[in-house]
Amino acid sequence: MKRRDFIHQTSAASALIGLGGFGLSSFSSATKKITILHTNDVHSHIDPFGPEDGRNPNQGGVARRASLIESIRAENPNTLLMDAGDIFQGTPYFNYYGGELEFKLMSMLKYDVATIGNHDFDNGIDGLYAQLPHAKFDFVSSNYDFSNTIMDSHVKPYRIIEKDGIKVGVFGLGIELYGLVDENMYKETKYLDPIETTQEMTRILKQQEHCDLVICLSHLGYKYSRLPEKISDLSLAEKTKDIDLIIGGHTHTFLKKPTIIKNAEGKNTLVNQVGCYGINLGKIDFYFDANKNKSAEGTSIIV
Amino acid sequence: MNYRPLFFVLFILAFSACKTKNHLHKIEGKQINVSDSIAADQRIEAFIKPYRERVEKDLDSVLAYSVATLSKSDGEYNTAIGNMMADAVYEEVNPVFQKRTGKSIDFVLLNHGGIRAIISKGEITTRTAFEVMPFENSIFVAELKGDQIKELIDYLVIEKRAHPISQLKIVLNADGSLKETSSKEKPLNYTKSYFVATNDYLLSGGDRMNFFKVNDSVYDLNYKVRNVLLDYFKKTDTLRPRIDDRFIKIK
Q: What is the pLDDT of residues A34-67, one digit of tens each?
A: 999 999 999 999 999 999 887 899 999 999 999 9
Q: Confidence class of residue A291 from pLDDT cuts 50, 70 and 90? A: low
Q: Which of A13, A279, A290 sits opposite B20 (nearest CB)?
A: A290
Question: Which pLDDT does position B213 carry in this prediction?
Answer: 83
Q: Confidence class of residue A182 from pLDDT cuts 50, 70 and 90? A: confident
Interface of A with B in 176-235 (CB under 8 A): 182, 184, 212-213
Topology of domain B58-249 in CATH is: 5'-nucleotidase;  domain 2 (3.90.780)
**CA angle at B134 for the pair B81 and B158, rounded to the nearest 5°:** 50
Residue of A nearest to B117 (CA): A54
Q: List CB contacts (< 8 A) between A17 and chain B.
A: 11-12, 15
Over residues B19-69, the pLDDT tens digits come to 457 899 999 999 999 999 999 999 999 999 999 999 999 999 999 999 999
Q: List CB contacts (< 8 A) between B59 and chain A.
A: 92
Q: Which of A22, A48, A63 sits opposite B15 (nearest CB)?
A: A22
Among A19-23, A149-153, A297-301, where is mean pLDDT lowest? A19-23
**Which portions of chain B are predicted below pLDDT 50?**
1, 5-19
Q: List CB contacts (< 8 A) between A300 and chain B.
A: 25-27
- Interchain contact, A295 vs B21, CB within 8 Å: yes
Over residues A90-131, the pLDDT tens digits come to 889 998 899 999 999 999 999 999 999 999 998 999 999 999
Residue of A nearest to B47 (CA): A105
**Does residue A283 form part of some domain?**
no
Question: Which pLDDT does position A2 carry in this prediction?
Answer: 42
Q: What is the mean pLDDT of chain A?
A: 89
**Does residue A142 form part of some domain?**
yes
Cβ–Cβ < 8 Å for B108, B164: yes
Question: Which pLDDT does position B11 carry in this prediction?
Answer: 45
Q: List CB contacts (< 8 A) between A66 and chain B.
A: 40-41, 43-44
Nearest CA-CA partner of B18 in A10, A26, A291, A11: A291
Give the range of the structural domain holding residue A179, as residue numbers without chain letter.
30-53+80-277+289-295
Rounded to two decimals, the ipTM of the complex is: 0.88
- Written as one string, the DSSP assignment of A236-268 is HHHH--S-SEEE--SS--B-SS-EEEE-TTS-E
Nearest CA-CA partner of B79 in B93, B68, B63: B68
Q: List CB contacts (< 8 A) between A302 and chain B.
A: 26-29
Question: Which pLDDT does position A21 carry in this prediction?
Answer: 38
Interface of B with A in 196-235 (CB under 8 A): 220, 222
Q: Confidence class of residue A168 from pLDDT cuts 50, 70 and 90? A: very high
- Interchain contact, A93 vs B51, CB within 8 Å: yes
- Annotated domain spans of chain B: 58-249
**Does residue A61 form part of some domain?**
no
**CA gyration radius for chain A?**
20
Residue A227 sits in a domain whose CATH number is 3.60.21.10
φ and ψ of A92, to 5 deg: -60, -20
Rounded to whole angstroms, the Cα distance separating A30 from A183 reads: 52
Highest mean pLDDT: which of A7-16, A131-140, A288-297?
A131-140
Structural domain count, chain A: 1
**Does residue A70 form part of some domain?**
no
Among A105-109, A181-185, A281-285, B193-197, where is mean pLDDT lowest? A181-185
Residue of B nearest to A102 (CA): B48
Question: Which pLDDT does position A293 carry in this prediction?
Answer: 53
